[in-house]
């Protein structure tokens, strides 16, 4: 078993670690990760000199880290002798991509629920229904990987997801949907639902005003993936706690939109800088 | 030091980097949450050493704390992969094509390449039709599967054989390749390879729930849309095939 007393370093060891003491921090690992972070779609090729300058390390030290990253499959050298990210870089976070939306969304949902004192949820469209894939209940820190199904037409998250469908797909679903009455204000006419979906696209968020059940209101906004499509919706749901629609929108629309934007960026959306 | 880590260590190699990245690689779909004791055991280092690397990853946003003083991957871990994908001309060109294919079909669509014996999904856009989301659990952009267990892998292997003068197997007259339950028991896939300069560079795949669509419905109903998407991607792929298929 290996027990390394100190971190191996290049000649320029004076740069302090961010917050942790040296004994609990590997500066070499920090620099290796920093090298990978230098690469962006706008700067896909970098030479040793450029990396050394950006990291504030000597060329010799940088070269050693780069050689290690090449041997590990995270970087590769091209014909110009510069380095670019290799396919191994994709593997680094692949497990996180595969763990689903709930993992990406959890911290943001927790923050939204904590600030608002209402339940924060995330759902995807699954045909005519929504599939609730994550939920943080009001007053708790517990996040639930729920798989609850609800009708899309009478939930704020469902209306967001229907609203942002391509028009052909939206028309197809609306021609198939049975608008069953679930709450005192469920929309039961396709024409009325169509008008409301237009409003959702204009406003950027959707409201459920006792459409799913009496006493429950909700507000939701779209989560976009790297393609820009709305692939999920974040909702704030009151579950019987009294609040009027105007107050719900006035107090929480901004927070819900911000939460949805943050989750979107985590899953690769590089959109309009909302 | 573990076998995988020690094999990489040479004179011009940073041992700390090897340990740190080997630690990060232990967080997988199957084992997404890890504690210090098991990380130390896998890396064959002391617990304080494993703790130091985990603390560094935690501080830098590559890991986050899970319950019971364990760790899991955090959002920074995905950034090198996103940067890598964003730099590939093939991926940039494929994005709007895949997006349109998803929008018109409602199904999960993906772009894949061969990487050794695996298929590597450079993009997976999850569909919104009934049953699609649940099929995606454990998959996603960056996931790998044995090539022979996926429609995309079978299409690429067939096209590779054809480029070497072999008789292609499992491929229909239109170039479509079907997979029934290989990627996932509940899934059915249809793929077509993109061939540029005589070599297969990538494949586009559609995945559907087997319970909701028969093989005939998939091939007959969506095969032409898949072929059109592949044709759009094929146009102009020649210039970026080298980097995209570096490991193929």
Whether A273 has a pLDDT exceeding 80, the answer reads: no
CB pair distance less than 8 Å for B52 and A67: no
Of B172 and B148, the structure prediction assigns the larger pLDDT to: B148
CB contact under 8 A, B80 and A100: no
A19 has pLDDT over 70? no
Instruction: Determine the Cα–Cα distance for residues B59 and B192; give it in Å rounded to an integer.
Output: 44
- Give the start-to-end residue ranges of the domains of chain B: 3-76, 88-244
Give the domain range for residue A184: 99-266
Residue A248: the pLDDT is 95
Q: Which residue of A has its CA nearest to B114?
A: A87
Return the structure tokens found at A132: 């609730």
Q: A241-266, pLDDT tens digit by residue?
A: 778 999 999 999 999 999 999 999 88
Same domain, A26 and A153: no
**Domain endpoint, select from A94, A124, A145:** A94
**How far is the alpha carbon of B145 from chain A, nearest alpha carbon, in Å?**
12
* Residues of B whose CB is below 8 A from A224: none
- Nearest residue of B to residue A103 by CA position? B74
Q: What is the pLDDT of residue B164?
A: 79
Q: Say whether pLDDT at B136 is over 60.
A: yes
Token digits for B141?
């952009």
Q: How far, in Å, CA of A44 to CA of A243, rounded?
A: 50
Q: Is A22 on the interface with B (CB under 8 A)?
A: no
Closest-approach residue (CA) in chain A for B24? A92
How close A189 comes to chain B (CA, Å)? 22
Give the model's pLDDT for residue B2. 45
By C-alpha distance, which of B123, B136, B130 is closest to B105?
A: B130
Buried (b) or exposed (e) across B189-209, using 16+ Cβ within 10 A? Answer: bbbbbbbbeebbbbbbbbbbb
Does one domain contain both A126 and A191? yes
Residue A47 and residue A131 share a domain: no
Neighbour count for residue B104 (Cβ, 10 Å): 16
Indicate the average pLDDT of chain A: 87
The tens digit of pLDDT for each residue in B44-67 reads 999 999 999 999 999 999 999 988
Q: Tell me: do A250 and A207 sit in the same domain.
A: yes
The mean pLDDT value for B104-124 works out to 95
- With a threshold of 0.85, tell me whether the complex ipTM lies above it: no
- pLDDT at residue number A170: 94
Q: Give the C-alpha separation, A266 to A231, whole Å.
A: 13
Residues in Cβ contact with A133 at an 8 Å cutoff, skipping those fewer than 6 apart: A100, A101, A102, A122, A123, A124, A145, A146, A147, A232, B133
Of A87, A95, A168, the CB nearest to B27: A95
Q: How does pLDDT run across B84-103, given as a tens digit for each residue?
A: 888 898 998 999 999 999 99
Q: Does A108 touch chain B (CB under 8 A)?
A: no
Domain membership of residue A16 (yes or no) is no
Give contacts of A166 with chain B, Cβ < 8 Å. Answer: 103-104
Percent above pLDDT 70 for chain A = 86
DSSP secondary structure string for all residues of A14-77 = -SPPSSS-GGG--HHHHHHHHHHHT-BTTB--B-HHHHHHHHT--HHHHHHHHHHHHHTTSEEE
With cut-offs at 50, 70 and 90, classify the pLDDT of residue B10. Answer: low
Residues A62, A157 within the same domain: no
pLDDT tens-digit map of A114-127: 999 999 999 999 99
A116 within domain boundaries:
yes
A131 and A149 both lie in a single domain: yes
Does one domain contain both A59 and A136?
A: no
Residues A64 and A188 occupy one common structural domain: no
Q: Provide the number of CB pairs (under 8 Å) joining chain A to chain B.
A: 241
Contact list, A21 vs chain B (CB under 8 Å): none
> What is the predicted pLDDT for the residue at A267?
82
The shortest CB-CB distance from A94 to any of B55, B56, B142 is to B142
Domain membership flag for residue A3? no
- Percentage of chain B exceeding pLDDT 90: 62
Cα gap A161→A197, rounded to integer Å: 9
User: For B46, which of A1, A98, A103 is closest by C-beta distance?
Assistant: A1
Q: What is the pLDDT averaged over residues A152-156?
A: 97
Instruction: Write out residues 130-159 of A within 8 Å (CB-CB) of B.
Output: 131, 133, 147
pLDDT band per the 50, 70, 90 thresholds, residue B237: low
- The pLDDT of residue A74 is 94
**Which CATH number is associated with domain B3-76?**
1.10.10.10
Q: For position B19, what pLDDT does the model report?
A: 92
How many C-beta atoms lie closer than 10 Å to residue B71's C-beta? 24
> What is the CATH T-level fold of the domain B88-244, as seen in this structure?
Beta-Lactamase (3.30.450)
The pLDDT of A30-59, averaged and rounded, is 93
Chain B residues whose CB is inside 8 A of the A69 CB are: 17
Beta strands in chain A (DSSP E): 75-77, 83-85, 119-126, 129-136, 143-144, 148-151, 206-209, 217-224, 230-237
Q: What pLDDT, on the 0 to 100 scale, is given for residue B235?
A: 86
- Asked if residue A105 and residue A83 are part of one domain, the reply reads no
- Chain A residue with minimal CA distance to B56? A25
Q: Are residues A108 and A240 in the same domain?
A: yes
Task: Kindly tell me the sign of the dihedral angle through the C-alpha atoms of A16, B66, A252, B127.
Answer: positive
Residue numbers in B near A64 (CB within 8 A): 12-14
Domain stops at, among A94, A128, A152: A94
Q: Is residue A156 pLDDT above 90, yes or no?
A: yes
Domain assignment present for A274: no
Confidence bin at B155 (pLDDT 50/70/90): very high
Q: Is residue A273 part of a domain?
A: no
Asked if B239 is an interface residue toward chain A (Cβ–Cβ < 8 A), one would say no
d(CA B224, CA B216): 13
The number of distinct structural domains making up chain A is 2
* Residue B140's pLDDT band (cuts 50, 70, 90): confident
pTM above 0.95, yes or no: no
Nearest to B87 among A41, A69, A266 (CB): A41
Say yes or no for a CB contact (<8 Å) between B21 and A41. no
Q: Do the bridges between strand B176-180 and strand B187-196 make them parallel or antiparallel, or are there none, so unpaired?
A: antiparallel
- Whether A92 sits inside 8 A of B102 (CB atoms) is no
Q: What is the pLDDT of residues B17-27, one digit of tens each?
A: 899 999 999 99
Local confidence band at A222 (pLDDT 50, 70, 90 cut-offs): very high
Shared domain check, A163 and A53: no
Interface of B with A in 109-138 (CB under 8 A): 115, 120, 122, 125-126, 128-134, 136-138
Tally the residues of chain B. Answer: 248
CB-CB: which of A7, A20, A41 is closest to B16? A7
A20/B115 Cα distance (integer angstroms): 39
Q: Element (H or E) spanning B103, and its range?
A: helix B89-105
- Give the pLDDT confidence score for residue A92 in this predicted structure: 87
Model confidence at B8, pLDDT cuts 50, 70, 90, reads very low
Which domain-ending residue is among A47, A64, A94?
Answer: A94
| Cα distances (angstroms) measured from residue A24 to each of A85, B49, B129 | 28, 8, 48
**What's the pLDDT score for residue B238?**
56
B209 vs B174, which has greater pLDDT?
Answer: B209
Please judge whether B12 and A67 are an interchain contact, meaning their C-beta atoms are less than 8 angstroms apart.
yes
A248 contact partners, CB below 8 Å, separation of at least 6:
A207, A217, A219, A236, A238
Q: Does A274 touch chain B (CB under 8 A)?
A: no
pLDDT of residue B216: 93
CB contact under 8 A, A37 and B79: yes
* Distance of residue B169 Cα from the nearest chain A Cα, in angstroms: 29
d(CA A112, CA A134): 13
Asked if residue A5 is part of any domain, the answer here is no
A242 and A127, same domain (yes or no): yes
């Amino acid at each position: 078993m290996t027990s390394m007393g100190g971190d191996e370093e290049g000649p320029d060891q004076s740069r302090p670690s961010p917050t942790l003491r040296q004994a609990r921090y590997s500066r070499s690992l920090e620099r290796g990760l920093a090298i990978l972070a230098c690469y962006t779609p706008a700067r896909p090729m970098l030479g040793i000199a450029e990396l050394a300058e950006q990291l504030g390390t000597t060329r010799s030290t940088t070269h050693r880290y780069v050689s290690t990253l090449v041997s590990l499959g995270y970087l590769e050298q091209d014909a110009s002798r510069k380095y670019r990210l290799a396919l191994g870089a994709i593997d680094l976070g692949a497990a996180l991509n595969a763990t689903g939306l709930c993992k990406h969304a959890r911290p943001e949902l927790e923050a939204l629920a904590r600030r608002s004192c209402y339940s924060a949820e995330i759902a995807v469209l699954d045909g005519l229904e929504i599939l609730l894939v994550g939920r943080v209940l009001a007053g708790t820190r517990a996040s639930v990987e729920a798989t609850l199904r609800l009708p899309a037409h009478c939930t704020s998250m469902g209306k967001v997801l229907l609203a942002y469908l391509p028009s052909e797909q939206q028309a197809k679903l609306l021609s198939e949907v049975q608008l069953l009455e679930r709450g005192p204000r469920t929309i039961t006419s396709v024409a009325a639902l169509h008008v409301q979906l237009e409003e959702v696209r204009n406003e950027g968020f959707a409201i459920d005003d006792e459409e799913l059940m009496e006493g429950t209101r909700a507000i939701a906004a779209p989560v976009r993936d790297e393609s820009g499509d709305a692939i999920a919706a974040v909702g704030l749901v009151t579950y019987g706690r009294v609040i009027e629609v105007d107050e719900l929108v006035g107090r929480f629309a901004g927070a819900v939109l911000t939460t949805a934007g943050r989750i979107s960026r985590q899953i690769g959306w590089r959109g309009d800088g909302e | 030091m573990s076998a995988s880590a020690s094999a990489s260590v040479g004179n011009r190699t940073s041992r700390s980097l090897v340990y740190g990245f080997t630690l990060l690689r232990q967080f997988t779909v199957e084992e997404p949450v890890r504690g210090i004791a098991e990380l130390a055991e896998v890396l064959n280092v002391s617990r304080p050493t494993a703790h130091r690397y985990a603390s560094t990853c935690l501080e830098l946003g590559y890991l986050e704390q899970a319950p019971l003083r364990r760790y899991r991957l955090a959002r920074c871990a995905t950034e090198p992969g996103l940067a890598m994908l964003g730099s590939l001309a093939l991926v940039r060109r494929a994005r709007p094509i895949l997006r349109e294919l998803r929008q018109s079909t409602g199904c999960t669509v993906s772009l894949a390449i061969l990487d050794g014996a695996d298929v590597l999904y450079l993009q997976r856009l999850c569909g919104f039709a009934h049953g699609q989301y649940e099929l995606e659990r454990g998959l996603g952009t960056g996931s790998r599967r044995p090539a022979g267990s996926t429609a995309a892998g079978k299409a690429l292997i067939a096209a590779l054989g054809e480029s070497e003068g072999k008789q292609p197997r499992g491929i229909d007259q239109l170039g479509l390749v079907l997979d029934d339950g290989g990627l996932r028991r509940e899934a059915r896939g249809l793929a077509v390879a993109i061939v540029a300069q005589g070599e297969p560079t990538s494949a586009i795949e559609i995945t559907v729930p087997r319970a909701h669509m028969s093989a005939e419905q998939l091939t007959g109903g969506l095969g032409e849309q898949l072929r059109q998407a592949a044709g759009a991607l094929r146009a102009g792929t020649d210039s970026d095939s080298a980097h995209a298929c570096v490991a193929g």
